[in-house]
Amino acid sequence: MTEQLESGSVIGILGGGQLGRMLSVAASRLGFKTCIFDPSGDPPAAHVANYHLKAEYADLDALQKFADSVDVVTYEFENIPTTALDALEALRPIRPGRNALAVSQDRLTEKQFLTDLGLLTAPFAPIATIDDLHAALATIGVPSILKTRRFGYDGKGQARIQSNDQIENAFNDMRGAPSILEGFVEFEREISVIGARGIDGEIACFDPGENVHVDGILRTTMVPSGISASMRNDAVLLTAKILNALDYVGVLGVELFVTSEGLIVNEIAPRVHNSGHWTQNGCITDQFEQHIRAIAGWPLANGTRHADCVMENLIGDDISKVIDLSKDASVALHLYGKAETKPGRKMGHFNRISPKS
C-alpha cells in the first residue's frame, strides 16, 4: 500500500523559480503547505509559499532545518548540488529520486541511459580533450553541437560547430568542463511528453505538445500537435519506458524530435516542464498538481485535455505585451512576479485557449 501524504502536510521545494511558484499554488489546492529552499532574497515561489528558507545549497544547518520542517522533498530544477541531496536524503524522502537526478544532471549519462533502453538519440561522443573533439567530429560530422555535460540549460554552455575553423573556439567555450559532442538531428517537428508516475507505479501522460524553440529557448507549445495518433502512442509508450526504468515518482518532461527515422529523444527533465504549462488551462488537473499528487502518493489524474491550447512564453521585454493580452478573452495570463526584466529571462507565459478540435 502507498502511504498518502495527508492534506495539511508540508512539501519542501528546492528552488524558488517560476516552476516552484506554480508547484506551490498547485499544492495549496490539495491543502498542502510549502516550504521553499532558495538562496535568493525574493524568489518568485516565495510570493505564494507558506515559508521561504533563504540559504545556500551548501548550508548543512539550513538543510537540516528544511528537512525538519517538511514531510517530503521535491525540486524545480535538476542541477541541485550533490552535497545538498546527500544531506537531505538521510532525513526525508526526495521525489523524484536521486537516480533520475543523476541521469539528467549529466548529458552523457542521460544519452547512455536512453540508448541502453533501446531509444534513439542524436549521435554523441564524450569530449575531454581537443583531440577527442577532432576524433568525434570525424565520425559525427558537422553541423554538430558541443555541450558541457552538466549545468547547461536554455542554450547556455553550448557551442554549435558548423565548420572546422570553429572547433577551437567551441572547445574553449566549454572552459575545460567535461563535454559531449552531439550530432545535429534533422527534424520535422519538436514535441514533448509530460508524463507522471505515482509511488505505486501508476502512469499518466498528458497529450504531447508541439514545441517551437528560438535561440535555444522554448517559445511556444501547441496542443494538439501535428503528429499522427500512432506517433502519439509511440511518444507516450517511450515516456512510460523511461519513467519505469528510473522507478520515477513525479512529473517528467521528455523532449523529442520527430524525424524520418521516428522519434529521437532530445533530453529528459526530471521535473515539471515549460512545455507542460498549457495544462494549466487545457486540463482539469495540470502538470503542477499532477506532480504534487505523485510525490504525495495521491491518485494521479488521467491527463484528459478539454481544450486546444497554445502556450507562449513571455521572454524579456515581451512582458510589455501583458496589458494588451489581458484584453484578450481567450488568453489566460501566468506571470512570475520577477522584479527585474532581462533579455532571455522568462517573465511569464500565457495560454490561448480554443474549443477542443
What is the nearest approach in angstroms of its own copies to the Cβ of residue 281? Answer: 7
Q: Which is nearer to its own copies, 31 or 81 (CB)?
A: 31
Rounded Cα gap, residues 280 and 287, in angstroms = 7
Parallel/antiparallel/unpaired status of strands 120-121 and 262-269:
parallel
**Selected range binding its own copies among 87-95, 128-136, 228-236, 319-327, rule: CB under 8 A:** 319-327
Name beta bridge partners: 314.
348
Q: Of 61, 329, 343, 357, which one interacts with its own copies (CB under 8 A)?
A: 329
Q: Which is nearer to its own copies, 138 or 329 (CB)?
A: 329
Cell numbers at residue 274, please? 515549460
Parallel/antiparallel/unpaired status of strands 10-14 and 33-37:
parallel
Site membership for its own copies, residue 1 (CB under 8 A): no
Q: Which long-range contacts (CB under 8 A, 24 or more apart) does 97-105 make?
A: 97/246, 97/247, 97/248, 97/249, 99/246, 99/247, 100/246, 100/248, 100/252, 100/270, 101/75, 101/270, 103/246, 103/268, 103/270, 104/78, 104/267, 104/268, 104/269, 104/270, 105/78, 105/79, 105/150
What is the nearest approach in angstroms of its own copies to the Cβ of residue 59? Answer: 23
Rounded Cα gap, residues 86 and 139, in angstroms = 39
Q: Which is nearer to its own copies, 139 or 302 (CB)?
A: 302
Site membership for its own copies, residue 333 (CB under 8 A): yes
Q: Which is nearer to its own copies, 14 or 46 (CB)?
A: 46
Residue with cell 501566468: 334
Q: Which amino acid is at 257?
A: F
Site membership for its own copies, residue 335 (CB under 8 A): yes
What is the nearest approach in angstroms of its own copies to the Cβ of residue 8? Answer: 6
Q: Which is nearer to its own copies, 155 or 337 (CB)?
A: 337
Site membership for its own copies, residue 109 (CB under 8 A): no
Site for its own copies in 233-292 (CB under 8 A): 281, 284-285
Q: 173-200 burial string, b = 16+ CB within 10 Å, else e? A: bbeeeebbbbbbbebebbbbbbbbbbbe
Q: Which is nearer to its own copies, 101 or 301 (CB)?
A: 301
**Selected range binding its own copies among 25-33, 99-107, 137-145, 269-277, rule: CB under 8 A:** 25-33
State the number of binding residues for its own copies (CB under 8 A).
48
Site membership for its own copies, residue 307 (CB under 8 A): yes
What is the nearest approach in angstroms of its own copies to the Cβ of residue 53? Answer: 15
Largest distance between two CA atoms of the chain: 60
Site for its own copies in 119-158 (CB under 8 A): none
Phi, psi of 157 (to 5 degrees): 70, 30
What is the nearest approach in angstroms of its own copies to the Cβ of residue 324? Answer: 9
Q: Which is nearer to its own copies, 134 or 306 (CB)?
A: 306
Each residue 281-300 as x (binds its own copies by CB under 8 A) or -, in order, gives x--xx-------x----xx-
Site membership for its own copies, residue 32 (CB under 8 A): yes
What is the nearest approach in angstroms of its own copies to the Cβ of residue 219? Answer: 20
Q: Shortest CA distance to 279 belongs to which of 289, 271, 269, 270?
A: 289
What is the nearest approach in angstroms of its own copies to the Cβ of residue 279? Answer: 12
Name beta bridge partners: 218.
213
What is the nearest approach in angstroms of its own copies to the Cβ of residue 213? Answer: 24
* Helix (H) or strand (E) run with residue 35 in it: strand 33-37
Rounded Cα gap, residues 294 and 220, in angstroms = 26
Q: Which residues bind its own copies (CB under 8 A)?
A: 4, 7-8, 21, 24-25, 28-34, 46-50, 281, 284-285, 293, 298-299, 301-302, 304, 306-307, 319, 322-323, 326-327, 329-339, 348, 353, 355
